[in-house]
């Protein structure tokens, strides 16, 4: 499986998990000059920006740990761009979640971190 196909596979798995938890899809793979947002969801009145990560090996901390300060900054800028492009949604409270899949692609573990980081 190519890297793009692997990414799409785990984004779909994350989307299914989120929808089972009653979150609603707003946008998928939103791109701008600021960066890309894997999934933008709604949970009630909260807009949720979701970063999906997959790591076959947990060396260096696994998928969740790969969302470090530089990636957080990029996600924050992308979210700000999204909110500028969607002013009606900009009034909603927002949060950043990370869904990390680790291990063999056929049977990975899944770690959903709600409110994985804050912006200031």
Q: How many domains is the chain partitioned into structurally?
A: 1
pLDDT in tens, 13-39: 899 999 999 999 999 999 999 899 999
Residue 42: band (very low, low, confident or very high) from pLDDT cuts 50, 70, 90: very high
Q: pLDDT tens digits, residue range 57-101?
A: 655 555 556 667 888 889 999 999 999 999 999 999 999 999 988
Q: Closest by alpha carbon to 11, among 50, 67, 56, 58?
A: 50
pTM over 0.85: yes
Alpha carbons 83 and 94: distance in angstroms, whole number: 10
CATH code of residue 100: 3.40.1350.10
pLDDT of residue 79: 95
Q: What are phi and psi of 109, to 5 degrees?
A: -85, 155
Segments forming the whole domain that contains residue 44: 3-117
Mean pLDDT of the chain: 86
């Amino acid at each position: 499986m190519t890297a793009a196909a692997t990414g799409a596979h785990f984004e779909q798995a994350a989307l299914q998990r989120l929808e089972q938890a009653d979150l609603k899809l707003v946008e998928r793979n939103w791109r701008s000059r600021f960066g890309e947002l894997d999934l933008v969801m709604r949970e009630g009145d909260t807009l949720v920006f979701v970063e999906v990560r997959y790591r076959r090996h947990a060396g260096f901390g696994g998928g969740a740990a790969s969302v470090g300060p530089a990636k957080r900054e990029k996600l924050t800028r992308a979210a700000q761009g999204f909110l500028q492009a969607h002013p009606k949604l900009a009034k909603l409270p927002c949060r950043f979640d990370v869904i990390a899949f680790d291990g063999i692609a056929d049977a990975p573990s899944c770690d959903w971190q709600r409110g994985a980081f804050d912006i200031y």
